Structure 1
Amino acid sequence: MTPSAKPSIIDLLELHAWTVFDVDDDGRVLAGSDESGSTQLVEIDSDGSTRQLTALPSKCSGRYLPGTRSVIVQHDTDGDERAQLSLLDLEPPAAGPAGLEDLRPLVRDTAYIHALVDVRPGQVVYSTNRRNGVDFDVVIRELDSGADRIVYDEGGYVSTVHVDGDTVAVTLLSAKPASTQVRLAHAGTLRDVTAADDHALHTAVHVVPGTDSVLMASNHGRDFQAVVRVDGSGQWTTLVESDDHDVTATPSPDGSRLLVIRHIDGGDRLAVHDTDGHHRVAIDLPARGVATAAWSPASTWIAVGLSTPTSPGDVLLVDAADGRVRTLVDGTAQMSPEMRAALVEPDSVRIPARDGEAIPCFVYAPAEPVGEMAGSVVINIHGGPEGQAQRQFSPINQALVAAGHTVLVPNVRGSVGYGKRWYSLDDVELRLESVLDLVDLRAWVPEVGGDPDRVALYGGSYGGYMVLAGLAMHPGLWAAGVDIVGMSSLVSFLENTSDYRRAAREREYGSLERDRDFLIQASPLTYLHAMDTPLFVIHGANDPRVPLSESEQIKAALDEKGVPCTLRVYHDEGHGLAKRVNRLDAYPAALSFLAEHLRG
């Protein structure tokens, strides 16, 4: 990149991202890096030196096995999300990264999912749908004998599990939209910590060591999540709370402290607290962004992965006693000074909606107009629907800004992070209210110097559905659309999605049995007669969530209608593009498509 040039989408896609999976008692961090083309395991020593551990065909993740120099590796095949578990020995050090043939199989049956949920000395805890393909059981594998012990098989979609001794806390998706249920299994008994019909989100659930209590984040009876403790008698105690943002916590393995994370307008603030909620020490992160964190087994270290709008991932090692932060990986070190100077931080705004609501939105704006692109606007809509646009690195947003577009990244109604009331405003029959938010966003673009006639929609997964719904239900307002793995019909999507996901999705969108008429009403294909906007579509052939048929049917319908539509299919990908080679093929083409239709 020349000193005067703006970073291109290719420049930005070539940057490698970092995330954190685990940390051991010697301060070594098990991280993920996609420098090799997809996310692979990398070990970072406490002095910052790195060693790539895996070179698998698809992205992977992992955890250290406590008390050993080995890693439990979770991997799938070309994005099909059927997680398999293997063991990788780190001693003696291998000559190079491990391929699939170098891993020792632990739990493998590629017809089903075996997801790593916890590790303990000599044991691996995983969830699997192998019993019937739908419900997830929780199993403890004894590594010495290879014996499996089922500790939960009462049905449902298991999201997280935490084990303490013989007590297992299971978090399930419940029947209510954006809600979970917590159950505690012990010695053959099962106790409901929260009610199945509670319209509340309970996350980060942990068994309090040596007790029948759980610690978790919950918005039961309130708008925002607070850190609470629920004892065996059902008594709730609030430990850390806020009236205007969510608060979550992860207890240290020895039960002596809490890592508290405040989720404020798409960014995270960290601190160590006592177990009664009393603040002990703040953790000063180098920038405002989105953090992932892990405790070391002896509760000495906290490893933090930090993604910010201008860095694809820092890896930090925190001394849990005093909060001191050591940078092991600086995500911006791989950038030229010119690229670092060109990247922009978003402004946070509230955009007025038609009914008096205010839509939270991040605005990425060019420092100065860029030729024919001046005045063009791209609205980038997150997935979910119970997702959130956050202050994290996006090569797409940065490349669009560098090319001269103003980028709006909204949290339309239905998004989490802004309270239960806000994320409930799109449930089932209210689905189309979130689509109307796009119209309000378009009406606002003159406030940032945008031209309402040169606005494009861009989004993936539920964001892809929003793109198609906006184009179909509000025609004539948009210059172009980019749909990535989006649903073109809520009916065919629910009929064809993986069996284990159908019930979880019906709670949010509506039931095929009870709400079919509304699902038809909320489907972009229903309004095909009105769609007249050029469309660019990207899809992975192995997508278990939104089947490829959703993109194929919108492509066929628009072709027959004579509306320009490009469909790019990647046969070694699933729900989104995990491999750099495919991103380098798809995203530059998508941005060229937008430039073609948004020029002044």
Structure 2
Amino acid sequence: MRSLLQIPSVAARDVDTEGRTLVSYDVTGSAQLYEVGADGEWRQLTDLDGVAAGRYLPGARAVVVQHDAGGNERGQLSLVDLDSPDVAGEGPLPPLVPFVHDPAFVHRLAGVAPGRVLYLTNRRNGVDFDLVSREIASGKETVLYDGGGYVAEVEASPDGRWVALTRPNAPANSLQLLLVSTEDGRIEPLTPWGDDAFVRTPSWQPDSSALLVSGNPGREMTAVLRYDLAARTWSEVVADPGHDLVGWVSPAGAHVLVASNDDGAVSLALHSLPDGELVRDLDLPAGGCAALHRHPDPVWSQAGDAVAVTYSSPVEPPYAVRLDVASGTSRAVRPPDRPDLPGGLVAPESHRVATPDGEQIPTFVYRPADGGDGSAVLVIHGGPEGQSVRQWQPMVAALVAQGHTVLVPNVRGSTGYGKRWYALDDVRRRLDSVADLAALHDWLPTIGVDPDRVALYGGSYGGYMVLAGLAFQPARWAAGVDIVGIASLVTFLENTSDYRRAHREREYGSLANDRDFLHEASPLTQVDAIRAPLFVIHGANDPRVPLSEAEQIVAALRARNVPCELRVYGDEGHGLAKRANQLDAYPAACAFLAEQLAKRPGGTSDRGEGVA
């Protein structure tokens, strides 16, 4: 585990026309910004306490940096002048100049343009996000949108007349597309569809005549769609009835880069516009994830001659790739002096596990090379509207190396398998997704796993699933590892950040209308049933799932003499971003699972029947 965690990762943030790539690189212990020149030379740009992300400023040798403090997600924006001389006495890094700072509120980088930066902030009331344009030279700010809600993505039209943005719609999982006039503030909804459509990645044609998005109105899978501003009509550009597609238009408007999600393997291809015909598949290894899901989105260079993407696979840690559009060839940007990868890394098998109600759970199975020792760990993703994909997961690799068979399921409610599947856990169907854990457990003997030696592991919503499995199915699980998980859906919604409450009630149900069910579906309500040992990890600054969620489940279990360990990290938020904390928590979690799942000669299970 320790050797896997110390393998550094690189993520692509931006690319310019001179062959330079802006990346995040975590060799220092947390992800910082570096510039990698065309000659392969690395230059560190930030050395902050928390994670740094950023973009190049068009028309200038500068970077706008987004950073927070201790994982609190209250992002601040600063500028780095890449042509400035190093400041004497302050080390080799260029100076970081505050640009938009107010530590009481969130500021998210939303876009860059010559001479200005677009950002989203909740500083007006702490709940709603406004879109602001700020001029670099004068500092003048213009509010482009203050229509309320949580704004997900923003894209300004090249002619400056419009801003397209996505905002959560009333139904769970849906996002609506809004067109905002920068001249008079008029807001025009562009998604008047009758179903729960999901829309993302708005991008403009260079003449501002049309807008391309990735969406699934009236269809199961996401396609690349075009909206014509003059005709006010929608048309299909690239679609595949069996796979989700996501697209990003090139600055010149001649191509659209399309990511295709095939059971968690994400590949990239270049298509022509306006016809959507395939030009070429891009030069990336098969069997991994080239975009989406914990990776930054691909970024086009301003000239449209190159694209920067992040790639990883179950056997390859994340690295940046610079793709040449003309030739389709790629140049990998891997960490300098990266240590050798350990042996025994394995790719998963893909299975579909049947449930009692006739569904099929997409599931990846990672098997130790020697077949394992008969134990298993289920690793459940967060979200809930997320997907486990075929990418680098050090904990999965470590558990496999420890001898466990590891299942990574996409239980109902996961994305990537169609609109119907990701809606099957909404609001009062929450416990149907928990029931999927029981179906997976019952299937394990078919692949040689001892059903008495199985544990649950998950973070965020996956942490909720761990606690729910232990509480609602106590006969099935030998142990659990909960990372920043939800113990009570009621107290979670009461205590999460104000802006997140309004956003998350769409998925879980509202305190006003669904409190009875939220209480019923909470692991804390059934805590008396839990008897499996539990290992809990949480960040003290978590703005999404407050630390109180961990504290109350641990207190309740300790009062009942159920073995429970809690590790709290004072400089972390929603998960562990710093390597020092990862090296403390994750090997300990591995050791905990090894102990709880060890063979005990002559031992018998005293677990009774639980609730399925």
Q: TM-score, normalised by structure 1?
A: 0.95
Do the aligned partners of 2:12 and 2:321 also contact (CA within 8 Å) in 1? no
- Counterpart for residue 334 of structure 1: 338
> Structure 1: how far apart are the matches of 2:74 and 2:313?
30
Q: 2:255 aligns with which of 254, 257, 265?
A: 257
Give the aligned partner of residue 4 of structure 1: none
1:65 matched to 2:57: yes
Is 1:298 paired with 2:303? yes
Distance 1:52 1:348 in 2: 40
**Aligned counterpart, 2:222:** 225
- Counterpart of 2:610? none
Q: Deviations over 1:536-578 (max 9, x none)?
A: 0000000000000000000110011110111100000000000
Query: 2:359, 2:347 → 1: CA distance?
Result: 25
**Equivalent residue number for residue 314 of structure 2:** 309
Q: Which runs of 5 or more structure 2 residues have no equivalent in the other structure?
A: 292-297, 600-612
The one-letter amino acid paired with 1:270 is L
How many residues align? The count is 586
Paired residue secondary structure (1:316) = strand
> Alpha-carbon deviation of 1:318?
1.1
- Aligned residue in 1 for 2:455: 456
State the alpha-carbon separation in 2 of the partners of residues 196 and 475 from structure 1.
43
Partner of 1:357: 359
* CA distance, structure 1, for counterparts of residue 36 and residue 92 of structure 2: 19
CA distance in structure 2 between the partners assigned to 1:196 and 1:92 by the alignment: 51
What is the CA distance between 1:290 and its match in structure 2?
A: 1.8
TM-score (ref. length: structure 2): 0.93
Answer whether contact 2:444 2:450 (CA < 8 A) is retained.
yes
Matched letter for residue 96 of structure 2: L
Give the deviation of 1:198 after TM superposition.
Answer: 4.5
Aligned partner of 2:312: which letter? S
For 1:157, the equivalent position in structure 2 comes to: 150
Residue in structure 2 matched with residue 179 of structure 1 by the alignment: 174
Which residue of structure 2 lines up, in the alignment, with residue 536 of structure 1? 535
Does the CA contact (< 8 Å) of 2:45 and 2:94 recur in 1? Answer: no
Matched with 2:273 is 275
Aligned counterparts of 1:15 and 1:192: Cα–Cα separation in 2? 46
Q: Aligned letter for 2:379? A: N
The structure-2 alpha-carbon separation of the partners of 1:290 and 1:406, relative to structure 1 and needing over 3 Å to count, comes to: same
2:128 is equivalent to residue 135 of structure 1: yes
Q: What is the RMSD computed on CA atoms of the aligned residues?
A: 1.7
Task: State the distance in 1 between where 2:545 and 2:553 align.
Answer: 13
Of 92-101 and 25-34, the range deviating more from structure 2 = 92-101
Q: Is the 8 Å Cα contact of residues 315 and 330 (structure 1) preserved in structure 2? A: no
Conservation of the 8 A alpha-carbon contact between 2:487 and 2:523: yes
Q: Distance in 1 between matches of 2:406 and 2:99?
A: 45
Alignment of 1:480-559 (within 5 A): 480-559=479-558
CA drift of 1:98 comes to: 7.6
Distance 2:32 2:190 in 1: 37
Looking at structure 2, the residues matched to 413 and 365 of structure 1 have their Cα atoms a distance apart, in angstroms, of 23
Q: Residue 195 of structure 1 aligns to a residue in which SS?
A: coil
Residues 204, 249 of structure 2: 8 Å contact kept: no
Partner of 2:432: 433
DSSP 3-state at the match of 1:334: coil
Deviations 1:270-292 (A, max 9, x none): 11111221111210202432224
Shift of 1:130: 0.4
Whole-angstrom CA distance in 2 between matches of 1:483 and 1:36 = 27
3-state SS of 1:504 partner = helix
Percent sequence identity over aligned pairs: 54
1: CA distance, partners of 2:308 / 2:86: 24
Q: Distance in 2 between matches of 1:93 and 1:265?
A: 48
The 1-side partners of 2:590 and 2:389 are apart by: 21
- Quickly say closer, same or farther: Cα 1:413–1:199, change in 2 above 3 A: same
Report whether the alignment pairs 1:192 with 2:189: yes
Structure 1 residues 467 and 45: alpha-carbon distance in aligned structure 2, compared to 1, 3 A threshold? same
Q: Distance in 2 between matches of 1:328 and 1:507?
A: 40
Shift in Å, 1:102: 2.9
- Change over 3 Å in CA distance of 1:402–1:136 after alignment to 2: same
Deviations along 1:306-360, whole A, 9 cap, x unmatched?
Answer: 01111111222111112111223279x72436x1x42111111111111111100
- Deviations 1:207-254 (CA, angstroms, capped at 9, x unpaired): 333335321011000000000001234311101001111011100112
Partner Cα distance (1:592, 1:27) in 2: 45
Q: 1:191 to 1:389 in 2, by over 3 A?
A: same
Per-residue deviation, 1:174? 1.4
Secondary structure of the equivalent of 1:389?
coil
Query: Match for residue 15 of structure 1?
Result: 7
Contact map agreement 1:23 1:302 (CA 8 A) in 2: yes
Partner of 1:245: 243
Cα separation, partners in 2 of 1:419 and 1:284, compared to 1, 3 Å: same
Describe the superposition over 1:432-474 as per-residue Cα deviations: whole angstroms up to 9, x where unpaired. Answer: 0000000011111112211111000000000000000000011
SS at match of 2:507: helix
* Shift, 1:197, TM fit: 6.9
| Contact 1:53–1:98 (CA under 8 A) maintained in structure 2 | no
- The one-letter code matched in structure 2 to 1:185 is V
Q: Is the 8 A contact 1:167 1:207 kept in 2?
A: no
Unaligned runs of 5+ in 1: 1-8
Give yes or no for the alignment of 1:110 onto 2:103: yes
Offset at 1:93? 5.4
Which one-letter code corresponds to 1:179 in the other structure? S
> Aligned pair in 2 of structure 1 residues 382, 529: CA closer, same or farther (>3 Å)?
same
Partners of 1:573 and 1:419 in 2: how far apart? 34
Measure how far apart 1:167 and its partner are.
Answer: 1.1
CA contact (8 A) 2:9 2:335 kept: no
